[in-house]
């Protein structure tokens, strides 16, 4: 379990740097454009990742350790980032994500989790019983889910420009497969 945790922390540490490398300095035509309607832009996704670090993962980990299954997790607002990101630049959000992520990983390490802690259960308001190990694994998988989404949103902006190659580019046929954690 500790080995798994090390790998998961290694993934979680890399996400702000990876998004910084992918996005910083690109024009708004790529970073502030979405896939139509109420879908998210890469800017929105970075805002959501910050908000989830603040309001979802570590708060829920502490919730499990404090309340177990006796109380469900407080609900997480998938649009909670909207107010927080207003008036900010993408560069500001990327800086903020780097800081918040480092801080939250320090919090995780400082819990000094023992083998038996990983098996402790909490209660998700919709999904039911889930362990602390599953919550922490989902934190990393959720990052990957959103890297997957950001690459898809940016590829969407190229759907006309690639002409006949659209057919061969799987990313342009991806619809996101539903909601997020």
Residue 62: CB atoms within 10 Å: 13
Q: Residue 143, exposed/middle/buried by CB under 10 A (0-12, 13-18, 19+)?
A: buried
Query: Is residue 132 involved in binding a second copy (CB under 8 A)?
Result: no
**Given the complex with a second copy, which of 29 and 112 has the nearer CB atom?**
29
Candidates 9-17, 46-54, 66-74, 84-92; binding stretch for a second copy (CB under 8 A): 9-17
Cα four-point dihedral sign 46, 58, 5, 69: negative
**Given the complex with a second copy, which of 78 and 88 has the nearer CB atom?**
78
Return the CA Rg of the chain.
Answer: 18
CA distance 124 to 106: 24
Query: Is residue 133 involved in binding a second copy (CB under 8 A)?
Result: yes
Residues 156-175 that bind a second copy (CB under 8 A): 158, 161-165, 167-174
CA 52 to each of CA 2, 58, 114, 151: distance values in angstroms, whole numbers, following the listed order:
23, 9, 24, 20
Least distance (Å) between residue 172 CB and a second copy? 7
Judged by the rule CB under 8 A, the positions of this chain that interact with a second copy are 4, 7, 10-11, 14, 17-18, 20-23, 25-27, 29-30, 124, 127-131, 133-134, 137-138, 140-142, 144-145, 147-149, 151-152, 154-155, 158, 161-165, 167-174, 176-181
């Amino acid at each position: 379990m500790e080995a798994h945790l090390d790998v998961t922390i290694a993934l979680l540490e890399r996400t702000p740097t990876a998004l910084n490398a992918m996005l910083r300095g690109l024009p708004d035509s790529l970073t502030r454009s979405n896939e139509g309607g109420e879908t998210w832009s890469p800017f929105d996704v970075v805002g959501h990742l910050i908000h989830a670090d603040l309001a979802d993962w570590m708060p829920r980990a502490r919730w499990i350790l404090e309340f177990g299954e006796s109380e469900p997790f407080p609900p997480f607002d998938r649009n909670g980032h909207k107010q927080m990101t207003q008036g900010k630049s993408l560069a500001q959000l990327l800086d903020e994500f780097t800081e918040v992520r480092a801080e939250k990983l320090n919090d995780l390490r400082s819990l000094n989790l023992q083998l038996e802690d990983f098996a402790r259960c909490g209660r998700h308001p919709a999904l039911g019983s889930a362990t602390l190990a599953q919550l922490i694994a989902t934190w990393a998988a959720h990052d990957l889910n959103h890297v997957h989404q950001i690459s898809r949103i940016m590829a969407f902006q190229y759907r006309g420009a690639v002409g006949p190659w659209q057919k061969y580019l799987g990313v342009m046929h991806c619809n996101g497969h539903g909601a997020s954690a």
